[in-house]
A and B are shown apart, each in its own frame.
Chain A
């Protein structure tokens, strides 16, 4: 147990963060190089003002037409993404690990709230899975990659929830949880989760074209 735990929280954690950060940087840089070489007619229109205008307008729930027309999905996806980011970053146990390892400490959220937020992520994942199975327009376009992305994200939250409540074999669960979290980090640059890295740019480009050239809203 000790050797395994030390391995997954030591070398494996470094590897996961390394793959996540370096991989994301590599993907971004190579994408930028590609854009410079092949999409100069897109880059030429990029505008900070209209990029931010578009991003901000899409970050407001029910602001864009698409959000308004799918209220359940809007609630699910906003709750999902908020909890997905806030829970692991501000979880007491995680912050303590940063503190022990690097002496870095910052604000935390109460465990009770984190518990609910974890359930929100799990519930949203189940909702997304349900849409993929039941809603024809989603089912039609769902690929194995989409399931993979969903499972990769669900795993750390599900195992984290079980580990926190020490429901099933804690020792095994905590290692599973750490590994699941590391898989998620490492998968970000190389799976559908890469939208975390790229979406801001696709959004910004659309905002720039619609704002700067077409003088119309893109939300």
Chain B
């Protein structure tokens, strides 16, 4: 039982491992452990009483009952514990398994926090394992490609600078059929709101930009989007362990907002990007809290609702269930606002999944896991069995999930487990139900 019994071939991992020697491994492991970790890792490693309570926290272990190698402590046992015990004297094959486990079998969702009496942050330990893998050059090919894109273009999807503005103008143009005087204002100095998205939106989810523009327009918001790099708030480098790039990305993003002298950054319905902007990336550059106030779409839409700026012509037919994205719920406590908003938008209310709010079960896509690509899709879908069962038990037809990665993951889950449910962004529902001009 363990990662060695379920290795999956991945070009990135294989090529990375082929370049390793035991000397390189030992040196790199110790450079990270002694150079970048301290009391936290030491205390976590020492005080974990191996009680196994966390086994019931993790959707991976809930989806593989009886296999302890999927439990949070079991995953640490197979990775960091070995590195600490051996002082980094492990062979390249071990690194392959360690990387596969850390990148594809832990979503860094932090649900295990609710199960550990001692307060051990397994997500942090697995992030540190990923950091070592990154330094060793052993990362899954697909996610590494997005990290390379970040390094080269400051966005995740190799979107060229002209393609970005072109896409925005295209969406503006499209939207004018419905909203004749709509604008997507670029580089508007001093705007109330700086709206930032993740690169997959211009790349293949342009309707999200369209909908956001429509909502902003109808609510009469003073907003802007930047034309220069910095517009992408996403951060796969945070998940590969490339913390240097994580810092550079966030600096670019904040400075882009600062240059435009905007009051606040509102980010689209993304989970991981929120984690990067609000929690991890800002710290990497030395900002205790974001230098420009950042709010997630959930909170932004909630504010618009409170101010009466969302005018509905109908309610969305429900009942629906709500999927709480870990990065904005365990990461920002937005679950109640999310529910108030959904109740405002939906007819028939919310049927909760058994695990909800801070205690939500992860979509199994987050933490960069879905970004590791097709080689690991089956593992991911198998790991979401517990989530699928909770979703099925609600008996509803619609899942509201305000996070891109959650969407991607839940689509696969819904399909594979034949749940027959549709998955909606808040923006989808608001756009569909809001008042639009008569054209």
Contact = CB atoms under 8 A, between A and B. Distances in A.
Q: Do A and B share a direct contact in the complex (Cβ within 8 angstroms)?
A: yes
Interface of A: 31-32, 34-35, 37-39, 41-42, 44-45, 54, 58, 64-67, 69-70, 73, 77, 131-132, 135-143, 146, 149, 192, 194-195, 198-199, 201-207, 210, 213-219
A141 B119 contact: no
Given A38-B37, A141-B77, A214-B279, A65 B331 contact: no
A65 B57 CA distance: 9
A25 B68 CA distance: 36
Contacts of A70: 53, 56
A126 to B, nearest CB: 15
B275 to A, nearest CB: 10
Given A137-B52, A214-B333, A199 B47 contact: yes
B256 interface: no
Interface residues of B, number: 51
A194 B39 contact: no
A199 B66 CA distance: 29
Contacts of A44: 288
B160 interface: no
B218 interface: no
Interface in B284-298: 288-289
Contacts of A45: 288
Nearest to A147: B50
A137 B117 CA distance: 17
B119 A192 contact: no
A45 to B, nearest CB: 8
B228 interface: no
A50 B416 CA distance: 41
B433 interface: no
A219 B332 CA distance: 15
Interface of B: 1, 36-40, 42-44, 46-47, 49-57, 61, 66-69, 71, 73-74, 77, 113-121, 278-279, 283, 288-289, 329-333, 335, 358-359
A54 to B, nearest CB: 7
Among A38, A214, A215, which residue has the most Cβ atoms of chain B within 10 A?
A: A214
16 contacts: A35-B39, A66-B116, A67-B117, A131-B51, A140-B1, A141-B77, A146-B49, A192-B47, A192-B49, A194-B46, A195-B118, A202-B119, A205-B40, A206-B113, A206-B120, A216-B330
B333 to A, nearest CB: 3
B43 A201 contact: yes
A73 B55 CA distance: 13
B42 A64 contact: no
B119 A54 contact: yes
Contacts of B283: 41
B74 A140 contact: yes
A31 B69 contact: no
Contacts of A194: 46-47
A198 B49 CA distance: 12
B5 to A, nearest CB: 13
A35 B39 CA distance: 5
B58 to A, nearest CB: 10
Contact of A141 (B68, B113, B120): B68
Contact of B66 (A131, A136, A210): A136
Nearest to B36: A38
Contacts of B358: 216-217
